[in-house]
């Protein structure tokens, strides 16, 4: 038996779920982890916050200053001597 050309799309559509023919939406991106809410004790206007996991230091007023999971306060020369660098290789104090 030969199926008519007009019936063939209907038969195929009925035999497969519609999810096979629809576009799958992209999965939602994972949310970024939030930094700690409070600064660690020891903040001072002349100190930088060194993220000890990445060895990047953050200046006072930066959104990550004192808020990363692992880190400590140091003066900028101490941070550079320890091998850390400023975010995007910037300096905090001139």
pLDDT at 78: 95
pLDDT at 50: 96
How far does CA 51 lie from the centroid of its chain?
15
Where are the extended beta strands (E) located within 2-58?
48-51, 56-58
* Backbone φ and ψ of 41, nearest 5°: -65, 145
- Higher-confidence position of 46 and 3: 46
Answer yes or no: is pLDDT of 75 > 90: yes
Report d(CA 15, CA 65) in Å as an integer.
59
Answer yes or no: is pLDDT of 19 > 60: no
Answer yes or no: is pLDDT of 12 > 70: no
Report d(CA 18, CA 1) in Å as an integer.
26
Side-chain half-sphere CA neighbours of 41 within 13 A: 0
pTM of the model: 0.58
pLDDT at 36: 55
């Amino acid at each position: 038996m030969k199926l008519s050309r007009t019936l063939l799309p209907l038969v195929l559509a009925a035999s497969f779920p519609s999810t096979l023919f629809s576009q799958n939406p992209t999965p939602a991106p994972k949310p970024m982890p939030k930094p700690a809410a409070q600064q660690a004790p020891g903040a001072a206007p002349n100190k930088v916050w060194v993220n000890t996991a990445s060895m990047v230091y953050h200046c006072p007023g930066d959104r990550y200053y004192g808020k990363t999971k692992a880190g400590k306060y140091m003066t900028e020369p101490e941070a550079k001597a320890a091998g850390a660098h400023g975010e995007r290789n910037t300096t905090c104090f001139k």
